[in-house]
Each structure stands twice: as structure tokens, then as C-alpha cells.
Amino acid sequence: QIQLVESGVGSVQAGGSLRLSCAASGYTTTSLCMGWFRQAPGKEREAVATIDKTNKPTYADSAKGRFIIPKDNFKGTLHLTMNSLKPEDTAMYYCAAEHPSSRPTCPKDGPSNYWGQGTQVTVSS
């Protein structure tokens, strides 16, 4: 069973930066498609960034140029570095992972089999 634990609860002013971390256990992150999702109040959950088993990242348009999704396979940790934060980035952020498989790429809609508990990010104007 893969377990994901996020850390990095953050509150920052617009224009600031935050880094979220997701510690994975139960399987090596080298072989996992992983990603970050977010859900704001009253809105549907959306993918922010994903990274496949070849370490190729994919970013939502809202995250391009501002967010980075590095994966530390040695430590088994996924990060999300967020720069130039905006009030509209305020949301609960979730780490996710896909079932281990032989496919090197992530599913079209990103990983969805395992989820962390979520961590709140608040950006004030």
C-alpha cells in the first residue's frame, strides 16, 4: 500500500513563494507517476503538475513558469515549489500517485489511485 504524507502548510502574501513536500512510502518513487492537485472552495479539483517515471513534468497552464515539481527519488519525496503566488492559488493541495505499472507516462488526467491528506495554501493580496 502506498502512503502519501504532505507537509508545508503555508500562508504567504501575493508574489511570495512556498514549497510543499510529499513523502511517499510503500513503493519507490522512481517507478511512480506522481502529481499535485488542488481544490479551492466551491471549485472542482484540478491537476497542477505531474511528473512521470522518466521525470518528465507536465504543468497546468496556471502553473507554467511559476511552479516546479521536482522529485527526489533518493528520499522518496515529491515537492512542489510555487513562486509568484497569486490569491487565486489559494486552495487545498493534494499529492497523488498512480498504481505502479510498466507504462512510463502518466495517465491523461494524472495519477489518481493514492492520495495524501491535503495541505492548505493561502495567498493573501
How large a percentage of the chain has pLDDT more than 90?
A: 91
| Three cell numbers written together for 84 | 509568484
Q: What is the pLDDT of residue 10?
A: 79
Q: In this model, does residue 71 exceed pLDDT 90?
A: yes
| Region at 113 (left for phi over 0; alpha for psi -120 to 50; beta for the rest) | alpha
Q: What is the pLDDT of residue 117?
A: 96
How large a percentage of the chain has pLDDT more than 70?
A: 99
Q: What CA–CA distance (Å, rounded) separates 25 from 4? A: 7
Mean pLDDT, residues 19-38 taken together: 95
Spell 6-32 as b/e; 16+ CB within 10 A means b.
bebebebeeeeebebbbbbeebebeeb
Q: What is the pLDDT of residue 18?
A: 96
| Three cell numbers written together for 44 | 472542482
